[in-house]
């Protein structure tokens, strides 16, 4: 009989809990080492949550045996374990095991399990001999008859009982996977690791161990937990069928909805020169701009890099009574490097030492226009504190001077990080935030508003190909909507520019965006190559950066030129990182 796991593996192990032949075959092709055929998997494919596996809808054992014989066992070559229920008083242990063997299953598992039930219901099940103790009898009897066994447990007492019963594999179930039908888990990776390690205390090393459920919804989170805890692998349930299927259907449905209206978007594009789209969020932003652009109210804009913050600022400025004058753009990332205070406020003669000339700060030039503080949270606290008085009074006092200069301007600020995180980390002074955010606008990432992609595509193609018309096919739009766009609108526009310049036909097709598939692979490799802070250093000296510039550049690349994570990885402050970036002339690609 084929062994489920021939020997204890040091690498990540993966199995799948499924309910249909299609899912089982797909999981096998994807590299699953073994399968659990369980009623929860079948119910998920019917549109029900995994939790419904406890309802008395079918005789679980007969049902799963029939599914196995008709859909799974004759199609899959890898081992398949039967999910067995002991909650039916009419089914005795020997009959269940005989049914599993005669159906052709490699082994059995105790699912649905009483270990995921607590309170009065659990107590009643145990009193009626339909609970966890009977599941231990099932595992013990199956093991004696040479069947493979995997036991679901949630704590150390249960794990020790199943180990004593002869289980060759244990799966620590952290609870049902987060979904719309289950209250989201607040467990972090570290908390989950602690739960796992407590549950596996004093469990012999020869017993293979797995984890399932709870906060684990992606391969990355499963790998992170397995790498930090004792478990050797992950059993995927709803993360391999319901969740990806729901996401795929939602995305495809959005594509049909959007593509069907592609010919009706010209009027929407013409409404604004800077912001466009018909998604609910973008329509809300347009309405806010229409209502508040003519006022002198401070505005704070947040959104990831490349999401269109600068374009939104331009739109607000053009709709204001100050549109005749040019926006004063303050790049706070560069300003944070050195001389920020003097650049903004100016200084009197002699302030920088005997013989130094007076300087006029940029804030004195902003009368009757808009001043835009780009990435305002990058400023140090001293500069932020002085800006508070400027926002309150509308006056500028040069460094070393007692005189105040009155200015009348519109103040707009932006930041790429969410405000709550900036306040929590103390990067942005809370008093300044209250003055910045009379009106607060949050721009979502492009992958959160894919219904805007056709509008953006048509607008950018028209701008790129002004000399002659060029269109994009539905298949081309589908290719654009399938990509994740980590660089947001900036990356989107660059991709369209590339496709337009390289294509000489009148219509862009999906094949014209094949380079996006290469980017997906590259991004996946880049993410996989990021080394955790506590990972052991490689011994190969040739692979290590040789200079401080190489060291900083390599770390910036690994963190996609995000300065906050880079500074953390390097063990220096963000301000020190800014200084070194300027010193070595390191620029993002």
Residue 106 contacts residue 147 (beta carbons within 8 Å): yes
Q: What are phi and psi of 222, to 5 degrees?
A: -65, -45
| Cβ pair 111, 154 in contact under 8 A | no
Predicted confidence at residue 348, as pLDDT, reads: 87
DSSP class per residue in 149-216: EEEEESSHHHHHHHHHHT-SEEEEE-SSPPBTTBPPP---HHHHHHHHHHHTTT--TTSEEEEESTT-
R_g of the chain, CA atoms, integer Å: 30
Report how far residue 155's alpha carbon sits from residue 115's, in angstroms, rounded to the nearest whole number: 9
Asked whether the beta carbons of 499 and 513 are under 8 A apart, the reply is yes
Calpha distance 228→197 (Å, rounded): 10
Determine contact, residues 208/169, Cβ cutoff 8 Å.
Answer: yes
3-state secondary structure of 328: strand
Enumerate the β-bridge partners of residue 211. 172, 234
CATH for 539-584 (3.90.25, 3.30.420, 1.10.10, 1.10.150): 1.10.10
- Topology at the third CATH level for domain 248-264+449-527: Helicase, Ruva Protein; domain 3 (1.10.8)
d(CA 508, CA 294): 40
506: CB partners within 8 A, 6+ apart:
469, 470, 471
328, β-bridge pairs: 371
In the chain, domain spans: 13-240, 248-264+449-527, 292-446, 539-584
How far is CA 5 from each of CA 32, 148, 487, rounded to the nearest angstrom?
A: 12, 10, 42
Q: Can you give the pLDDT at residue 469?
A: 65
What are the φ and ψ backbone dihedral angles of 107, each rounded to 5 degrees? -170, -165
Residues 383/387/389/394 CA torsion (nearest 10 deg): 150
One digit per residue, the tens of pLDDT, for the chain of length 589 reads 333 333 334 467 889 999 888 889 888 888 889 999 998 888 887 777 777 777 777 889 999 999 999 999 998 999 999 999 998 888 899 999 999 999 999 999 999 988 888 777 878 888 888 889 999 999 999 999 999 999 999 999 999 999 999 999 999 988 766 544 444 456 777 888 888 999 999 999 999 999 988 777 777 778 888 888 889 899 988 777 666 666 666 656 655 555 555 555 555 444 555 666 778 888 888 888 888 888 888 999 999 888 889 989 999 999 888 888 999 999 888 776 556 788 888 888 888 777 788 888 889 888 889 999 999 998 888 889 999 989 888 899 888 888 888 988 999 999 998 888 899 889 999 999 999 988 999 999 988 888 888 888 888 888 776 655 678 887 888 888 888 888 888 888 888 888 888 877 788 888 888 888 766 544 443 444 333 333 444 333 334 434 667 777 877 877 777 777 777 766 677 777 777 777 777 766 5
Encoded tokens for 573: 């402050």
CB 414 within 8 A of CB 443: no
User: Is there a contact between 45 and 27 (Cβ–Cβ < 8 Å)?
Assistant: no
CB 127 within 8 A of CB 102: no
Helix (H) or strand (E) holding 301: strand 299-302
Question: Is there a common fold for 248-264+449-527 and 539-584?
Answer: no
Question: How much is the pTM?
Answer: 0.50
Closest-CA residue to 242 (of 250, 231, 254): 250
C-alpha span between 150 and 36 (Å, rounded): 9
Report d(CA 549, CA 581) in Å as an integer: 8
Concatenating the DSSP letter of every residue in 229-286 gives SS--EEEESTTTTHHHHHHHHHHHHHHHHHHTTGGG-HHHHHT-SS----SHHHHHHH
Check: CB of residue 68 under 8 Å from CB of residue 46.
no
Cβ neighbours, 10 Å, residue 110: 28
DSSP-derived 3-state class of residue 429? coil
Residue 456 CB partners (closer than 8 Å, separation 6+)? 276, 277, 446, 489, 492, 493
CA-CA distance, 399 to 165, in Å (whole number)?
A: 78
CA 377-381-386 angle, to 5 degrees, is 100
For residue 399, list its beta bridge partners: 347
C-alpha pair distances (Å), 463 with each of 150, 197, 365: 60, 58, 33
**CA-CA distance, 118 to 190, in Å (whole number)?**
24
For the domain covering 292-446, report its CATH number. 3.40.50.300
The length of the chain, given as a count of residues:
589
291, 474 contact by CB (below 8 A): no
Per residue in 398-457, pLDDT (tens digit) is: 888 888 889 889 999 999 988 888 998 899 999 999 999 889 999 999 888 888 888 888
CATH 3.20.20.70 given to domain 13-240? yes
Question: Strand 233-236 and strand 299-302: pairing?
Answer: unpaired
Residues 116, 110: Cα–Cα separation, whole Å: 11
């Amino acid at each position: 009989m084929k062994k489920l796991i021939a020997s204890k593996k040091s690498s990540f192990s993966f199995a799948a809990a499924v309910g249909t032949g299609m899912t089982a075959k797909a999981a096998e092709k994807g590299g699953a080492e073994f399968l659990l055929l369980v009623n929860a998997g079948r119910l998920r494919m019917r549109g029900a949550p995994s939790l419904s596996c406890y309802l008395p809808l079918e005789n679980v054992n007969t049902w799963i045996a029939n599914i196995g014989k008709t859909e799974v066992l004759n199609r899959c070559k890898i081992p398949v374990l039967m999910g067995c229920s002991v909650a039916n008083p009419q089914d005795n242990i020997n009959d269940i095991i005989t049914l599993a063997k005669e159906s052709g299953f490699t082994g059995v598992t105790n699912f649905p399990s009483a270990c995921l039930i607590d309170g009065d219901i659990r107590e009643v099940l145990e009193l009626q001999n339909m609970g966890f103790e009977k599941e231990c009898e099932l595992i013990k009897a199956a093991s004696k008859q040479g069947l493979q066994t995997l036991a679901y447990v949630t704590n150390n007492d249960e794990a020790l009982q199943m180990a004593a019963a002869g289980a060759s594999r244990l799966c620590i179930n952290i609870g049902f996977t987060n979904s719309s039908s289950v209250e989201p888990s607040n467990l972090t990776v570290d908390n989950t690791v602690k739960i796992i390690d407590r549950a596996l205390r004093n469990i012999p090393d020869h017993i293979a161990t797995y984890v399932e459920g709870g906060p684990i919804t992606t391969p990355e989170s499963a790998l992170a937990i397995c790498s930090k805890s004792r478990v050797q692998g992950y059993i995927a349930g709803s993360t391999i069928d319901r969740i990806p299927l729901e996401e795929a259907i939602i995305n495809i449905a959005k594509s049909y909805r959007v593509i069907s209206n592609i010919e009706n978007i010209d009027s929407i594009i013409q409404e604004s020169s800077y912001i466009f789209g018909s998604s609910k969020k973008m329509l809300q932003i347009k309405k806010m701009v229409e209502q508040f652009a003519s006022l002198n109210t401070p505005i704070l804009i947040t959104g990831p890099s490349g999401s269109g913050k600068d374009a939104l600022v331009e739109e607000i400025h053009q709709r204001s009574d100050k549109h005749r004058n040019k926006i004063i753009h303050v790049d706070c990332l560069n300003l944070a490097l050195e001389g920020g205070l003097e650049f903004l406020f100016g200084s009197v003669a002699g302030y920088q030492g005997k013989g130094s000339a007076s300087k006029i700060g940029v804030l004195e030039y902003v009368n009757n226009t808009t001043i835009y503080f780009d990435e305002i949270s990058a400023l140090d606290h001293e500069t932020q504190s002085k800006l508070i008085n400027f926002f309150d009074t509308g006056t500028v006092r040069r460094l070393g001077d007692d005189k105040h200069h009155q200015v009348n301007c519109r103040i707009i600020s932006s930041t790429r990080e969410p405000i709550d995180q900036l306040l929590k980390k103390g990067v942005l002074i809370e008093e300044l935030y209250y003055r910045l955010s009379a009106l607060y606008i949050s721009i979502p990432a492009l992958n959160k508003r894919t219904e805007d992609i056709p509008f953006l595509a048509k607008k950018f193609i028209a701008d790129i190909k002004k000399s002659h018309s060029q269109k994009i096919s539905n298949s081309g739009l589908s290719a654009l909507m399938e990509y994740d766009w980590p660089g947001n609108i900036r990356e989107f526009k660059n991709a369209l520019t590339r496709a337009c310049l390289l294509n000489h036909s009148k219509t862009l097709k999906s094949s014209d965006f094949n380079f996006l598939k290469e980017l997906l692979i590259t991004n996946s490799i880049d993410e996989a190559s990021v080394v955790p802070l506590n990972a052991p250093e490689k011994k190969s000296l040739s692979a290590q950066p040789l200079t401080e510039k190489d060291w900083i550049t390599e770390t910036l690349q690994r963190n996609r030129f995000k300065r906050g994570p880079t500074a953390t990885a390097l063990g220096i402050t963000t301000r020190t990182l800014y200084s070194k970036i300027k010193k070595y002339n390191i620029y993002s690609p």
